[in-house]
Structure 1
Amino acid sequence: MYQRNDVREGMTVRSMDGEKLGKVFAVNEDEFLIEKGLFFPKDYVCRYAEISHLEDGEIILTHGKEGLHRFSFDGTRDSDVMAGTGGGAGVGPGALGLESRREVGTQDEVAIPVHGERLDVVKRSTQAGEVRVHKDVVVEEQHVTVPVRRERVTVERRAVQDRPAMNASFQEETVVVPLRAEEVEVRKRPVLEEEVVIRKQAVEEERDIDETVRRERVDIDGAEDSRKLGLNSDDPLLRR
Structure 2
Amino acid sequence: MARTLQPEELIDSAVVDPDGNKLGKVGNVYLADATHQPEWITVKTGLFGTKESFVPLTGAHTDRDGVHVQVDKDRVSDAPRIDADGHLSPEESTQLYQHYGLPVPRTSADGRMDRGTDRGADRGTERGTDRGRGAMGGKHDDRAMTRSEERLNVGTEQVETGHVRLRKYVVTEEQQVTVPVRHEEVRIEREPITRADGGRAEIGEAEQDVVLHAEKPVVRKETVPVERARLRKETVSDEQTVSGKVRKEQFEVTDDDRKNRRS
> TM-score, with normalisation over the residues of structure 1?
0.34
Higher gyration radius (CA):
2
Provide TM-score, normalisation by structure 2. 0.32
